[in-house]
Structure 1
Amino acid sequence: MRIIGGDFRGKKILEPKDKETRPLKDLTKESIFNIINHSNKFSINLEKSNVLDLFSGTGSFGIECLSRKAIHVSFVENYEEILPILKKNLSNLKSISNYNIIEKDIINDFYFLEKKEKFDIIFLDPPYKEKKVANILSNLFKFEILKPDGVIIIHRHKKDDEEFPEKFKIIEEKKYGISKIIFGNFI
């Protein structure tokens, strides 16, 4: 796994040894950033973005945002086996300090969202077996942390057929290999 664009392009990202964490594949990551940069359905300037990376894992998505000059990235992860890898991946970017790590369980302990920080991009990449995505979206809506012109990017298995809250509007959906990427926001 590597950083595919920006200042740290080509730099390796450490991967987990366990099977519980599913790192974001380079092809999927590249597709996400192509859509962010070229979509005519929404407009996000990554270089002016505040990013929330939920279920961060190794930090692949958020690190890619930092490499591409995002203003700030908040990584949310609580899995004890992956946290040291996330921290090491970030410390390997020696010149970067515009991030923070929030060690919380987004499913059961989401009140850290109350601080009212607003995000341009929220990346949601829970384990495929996690079925509470609608609850997470409802909490994101409740705490009003997505900027009005922001986007939520959800990474799921292509066969998942989850129901989303009525207030969540899908803007674009793409399938890659065994996964799908859903871009949306709140109405």
Structure 2
Amino acid sequence: MRVIAGTYGGRRLKAVPGTQTRPTTDKVKEALFSMIGPYFDGGQVLDLFAGTGGLAIEAVSRGCDQAVLVDKQRQAQAVITENIALTKEPERFRLLKTPAQTALKLLADEQQQFSYVFLDPPYRFKIIHQLLETLSELSLLTDSARVIVETEREDDVELPVGFELIKHHDYGITKISVYQYNKG
């Protein structure tokens, strides 16, 4: 697993040991970023269920300003910290060691807003609709923000008001969906 392009391109990222995380493969990551970028002119990134931190690190590598990474699992937190250190720009990243819902409330209290959000919770949770609603209700998204969701291929997400599916693609058992948020 590596950073594919941009400032940190080619750097090898560490993986979380065991089977509790499902790192996005390089192939899927490259396809995902070609769907939403592939390069960015600034913007804030939120990576819930960050795992290795690979998606947020890739986004900053490709031009986003800063990223907030969220993971409650200790092993993932340790790996994220190591992977952030590999960038040699730790000031561009913030790790919240807390459950996703707690992190969202904290970020809302800080009046944070994000241009890009990565949602890749464990497939069994089936909480994408709930997370999209929370992001909207807590005003965590900029107008025209992109929310990139990784689910099982057969999962269909009921979209809350304000969200529109703009792209999706299947990669084996995985489906990547890109939603745009319009405050209206």
Q: State whether TM-score is above 0.5.
A: yes
1:173 aligns with 2:168: yes
Structure 2 equivalent of residue 42 of structure 1: none
2:93 is aligned, of 51, 74, 99, to 99
Q: Supply the distance in 2 between the matched residues of 1:11 and 1:47 (Cα, whole angstroms).
A: 22
Structure 1 equivalent of residue 25 of structure 2: 25
Q: Supply the distance in 2 between the matched residues of 1:140 and 1:127 (Cα, whole angstroms).
A: 18
Amino acid at match of 2:88: K
After the TM superposition, which segments of 4 or more aligned residues of structure 1 sit over 4 Å from their partners?
A: none
Structure 2 equivalent of residue 50 of structure 1: 44
* Cα deviation, residue 80, structure 1: 1.4
TM-score when normalising by structure 2: 0.91
Structure 2 equivalent of residue 120 of structure 1: 115
* Cα deviation, residue 82, structure 1: 1.1
- SS of the residue corresponding to residue 120 of structure 1 reads strand
Contact 2:70/2:103, CA 8 A, preserved across alignment: no
Amino acid at match of 1:3: V
Q: What is the CA deviation profile of residues 91-143 of structure 1, one whole-angstrom value per residue up to 9, with x for unaligned ones?
A: 12224421111122114663113222111111111111121221111110101
Q: Supply the distance in 1 between the matched residues of 2:103 and 2:30 (Cα, whole angstroms).
A: 31
- SS of the residue corresponding to residue 37 of structure 2 reads helix
Amino acid at match of 1:50: Q
Q: Supply the distance in 2 between the matched residues of 1:170 and 1:69 (Cα, whole angstroms).
A: 24
* Structure 2 gap segments, 5+ residues each: none
Q: Residues 7, 186 of structure 1: CA spacing in aligned structure 2 closer, same or farther, 3 A cutoff?
A: closer
Q: Supply the distance in 1 between the matched residues of 2:103 and 2:86 (Cα, whole angstroms).
A: 29
* Cα deviation, residue 47, structure 1: 2.8
Structure-to-structure mapping, 1:29-108, within 5 angstroms: 29-37=29-37, 46-107=40-101
Q: What is the CA deviation profile of residues 53-74 of structure 1, one whole-angstrom value per residue up to 9, with x for unaligned ones?
A: 1111100100111211311111
Q: Residues 153, 48 of structure 1: CA spacing in aligned structure 2 closer, same or farther, 3 A cutoff?
A: same
Amino acid at match of 2:59: C
Bigger mean CA deviation after superposition, 155-164 or 105-114: 105-114
Contact 1:107/1:132, CA 8 A, preserved across alignment: no
Q: Supply the distance in 2 between the matched residues of 1:65 and 1:161 (Cα, whole angstroms).
A: 26
- SS of the residue corresponding to residue 75 of structure 2 reads coil
* Cα deviation, residue 168, structure 1: 2.5
Amino acid at match of 2:124: K
Structure 2 equivalent of residue 183 of structure 1: 178
TM-score when normalising by structure 1: 0.89
Contact 1:104/1:110, CA 8 A, preserved across alignment: no
Structure 2 equivalent of residue 14 of structure 1: 14
* Structure 1 gap segments, 5+ residues each: 39-44
